């Protein structure tokens, strides 16, 4: 499976372009990209705890914002950082699991993110690959 991301130049905030072979893979890679950029070393986060998510949205973009916002909530409130993700999409519903561990934010956080925005987000299939740009409020 081909997945990846790159950091986008953005004037005030922080953005990523994400791509994957499947739409579910796009959501997994977006989460991985977010934590890769926020943490000093995502590979140091052991998958000790699992959190299950069930979300609904009118559009794929709504689901993406809800998914990444939920992950940020766990980081902000519980200090839980994730390193492994599994997403299943079905007709406006997202079921997912994320594995991670508690971290000391003062030591592990490289880049703070306040919120996920809809700015420039459009989830689309381009030449057989799913892709989107995501801008984060920092």
Low-confidence ranges of the chain (pLDDT < 70): 1, 8-12
Beta strand ranges found along the chain (DSSP E): 3-8, 14-20, 49-56, 80-90, 93-102, 115-116, 124-126, 129-137
Q: For 110-122, what is each residue's pLDDT tens digit?
A: 888 999 999 889 9
Do the Cβ atoms of 90 and 50 come closer than 8 Å? no
What's the pLDDT score for residue 123? 97
Domains and CATH numbers, the chain: 3-137 (3.55.10.10)
| 101 close to 117: Cβ distance less than 8 angstroms | no
Q: Which helix (H) or strand (E) holds 66?
A: helix 60-78
């Amino acid at each position: 499976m081909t997945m990846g991301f790159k950091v986008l130049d953005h004037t005030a905030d922080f953005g990523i372009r994400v791509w994957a072979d499947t739409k579910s893979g796009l959501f997994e890679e977006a989460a991985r990209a977010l934590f890769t950029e926020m943490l000093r070393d995502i590979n140091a986060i052991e998958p000790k705890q699992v959190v299950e998510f069930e979300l609904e949205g009118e559009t794929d973009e709504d689901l993406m914002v809800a998914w990444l916002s939920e992950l940020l909530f766990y980081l902000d409130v519980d200090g839980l950082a994730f390193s492994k993700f599994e997403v299943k999409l079905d007709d406006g519903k997202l079921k997912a699991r994320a594995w991670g561990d508690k971290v000391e934010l003062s030591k592990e956080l490289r880049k703070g993110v306040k919120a996920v925005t809809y700015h420039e987000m459009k989830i689309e299939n381009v030449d057989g690959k799913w892709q989107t740009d995501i801008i984060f409020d920092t």
